[in-house]
Chain A
Amino acid sequence: MLFRRFNDKGVQAFAAYLDALRADPKAPVPTDLLTNPRLTHPLDPPIDAEPQPFNTRMDFCRWLHDAAEAAGTEAPRRDAGFWAWLTLALFDQVCPENGGKRKPGELARYVPMYDDWKRRYRHLLATPYNIFLIHEDDPVRAAFILNTPLNVLGEITEQFASRQELISCPGTMALATHLFVDPSTNRLKAKVSGNAPRRLGKLLNQYQRTWDITIMEPPVAAAILPREFDRFRK
């Protein structure tokens, strides 16, 4: 599959399909849009990769990263038209069918909204890929975000992705992975839900002014958290 990007009309056509899908959850995916020369343009330089089933965002990010590297270039990470096109190309994984029906979320999950600071980090593909690139030297430290399915944004991703200081700090990311990921399964612990990610995000915002979490080993940093995090320290 040679990657392309939507032009403005292409983005509008994709958004129109999402509207139609909300009205008719069985509306077929308009794959013809992907190669329509009036709605799309090829990437320059070209990137080529065959889609495959991605168990996690990490798998997707590695796939895209490898494809771009093989092409001797970088994925156009700030190109909303590219991300919208790729979302449609992988739509079965980004918005999977359940009982023959799809249930799309808000538009920002499928078309990046870079001009809206409240929604710019909600894209289901662009956001994890940016996080992957930030931690390219050791993506495993972002496992609490990247070892999750492609079709779910999740509270924990929202809490961190919306805070630039946290998402870019190796120490806070390693700490969150230490707390929230079960090392035996590499998946989120069952009890990670609700208030904990929100509380951790807020606490780390404060703690970064008192502690240099980057140089602290995750268990040491975890020890300074209040008792409400005891259940995650185990």
Chain B
Amino acid sequence: MTVKRINFTNRKRLTREHANIVIHPPINGQGCATFDAQLDLNHLRPQADTARVFVEAYHQTTRMRFDFGTVGAITHPARAECRLHEFHDWKDVLFRVKITDVQDHPGQLLGWGNQIRPKGPDDMDEPDLVRFKDADLYGLLWDIEYDDHGPVVLIELNAGGVQHVGRDDRFRAAVFPEVLRRTLVKALVEDEIAHDDVDHWFALWFEGFLKPKLGLPAPPPAEDITRRRDWIDNAVKAFARHFRIAEFWSADAPRPAGEEA
């Protein structure tokens, strides 16, 4: 006999669309992994605006809890505060997200997502758009070339190539904004493609990433190069904000004396 489960509590189940976790492995195996929580809790608003948002990382008997503010005012702790330093191996860590009432029934869960398996940086959306290739660059660490499918980032093999340099979070943080800038300049300024050219690889970039992830409007028409350059500047800044690029560096920066991780 099957037993039907009935949710009497009105607790909302959070899916990956509501609560997605991206984990950032330690750089070159040093230090500890960090994570980002991408939370979209609009479906709980405004009724649950005052409810607290907690993200818990756990594995066996180890758990770490992180305060992400309230549903109405989500606050993302700095990357340095999202260090998974209590876990022996970050690959084991799962996450749960709790939306906790603090007003009418303090402690009651209004929403919860459990056993959330984090995505790794390799699962992030942008690498699908950017391909990497080992190359002999005669002194350069990286360069970029284009083919019919878009940009290919070349990485000096003698410096460690794609396996080492290309997977380094700090390298990505430093290089990806520039890859984006050069790629947009290539498509919109040099090639002067029409913004609605569905046959060009830029269409995939725009419809698959720039518009849904960064919320960018369509680029100005090809005749208006000045506005296109402004649009590119805005796109790069939006990219940096979305992925909190600067924090890739601040996470491991020396902290003031007496400040705990």
Contacts and interface: CB of A to CB of B under 8 A. Distances in A.
Interface string A141-178: 00000000000000000000000100111000000000
A221 B100 CA distance: 14
B228 interface: no
B105 to A, nearest CB: 9
A20 interface: no
Contacts of B63: 168-169
Contact of A167 (B61, B102, B112): B61
Interface in A180-225: 209-216, 220-221
A209 B12 CA distance: 11
B127 interface: no
Interface of A, helix, strand, loop or mixed by DSSP? helix
Nearest to B61: A168
From B9, B11, B60, B107, name the one whose CB has the most chain A CB atoms within 10 angstroms: B107
A220 B107 contact: yes
Contacts of A167: 61
Contacts of B102: 215
Interface string B68-111: 00000000000000000000000000000010101000111100
A210 B11 contact: yes
A130 interface: yes
A32 B63 CA distance: 41
A215 B100 CA distance: 9
Nearest to A134: B61
- Place the interface of chain B in its size category: 10 to 19
Interface in B22-57: 52, 54
Contacts of A221: 107
B107 A168 contact: no
Interface string B197-230: 0000000000000000000000000000000000
Nearest to A131: B61
Nearest to A163: B61
A115 to B, nearest CB: 15
B65 interface: yes
A213 B61 contact: no
Contact of A211 (B52, B58, B109): B109
Contacts of B109: 209-212
Contacts of A216: 106-107
A130 B61 CA distance: 9
A102 B237 CA distance: 73
Interface string A99-142: 00000000000000000000000000000001000100000000
A220 B106 CA distance: 9
B61 A215 contact: no
Given A168-B63, A220-B107, A221-B107, A212 B58 contact: no
Contacts of B60: 164, 168
B107 A212 contact: yes
Contacts of A169: 63
Contact of A164 (B9, B61, B65, B112): B61
A210 B108 contact: yes
B62 interface: yes
20 contacts: A164-B60, A164-B61, A168-B58, A168-B61, A209-B112, A211-B107, A211-B108, A211-B109, A212-B98, A212-B108, A212-B109, A213-B107, A214-B65, A215-B52, A215-B100, A215-B106, A215-B107, A216-B107, A220-B106, A221-B107
The 8 closest A-B pairs by CB, nearest first: A216-B107, A212-B100, A168-B61, A168-B63, A211-B107, A164-B61, A212-B98, A210-B9
Given A210-B9, A210-B11, A211-B108, 12 more contacts: A130-B61, A167-B61, A168-B58, A168-B63, A169-B63, A209-B11, A210-B109, A211-B107, A211-B109, A215-B100, A216-B107, A220-B106
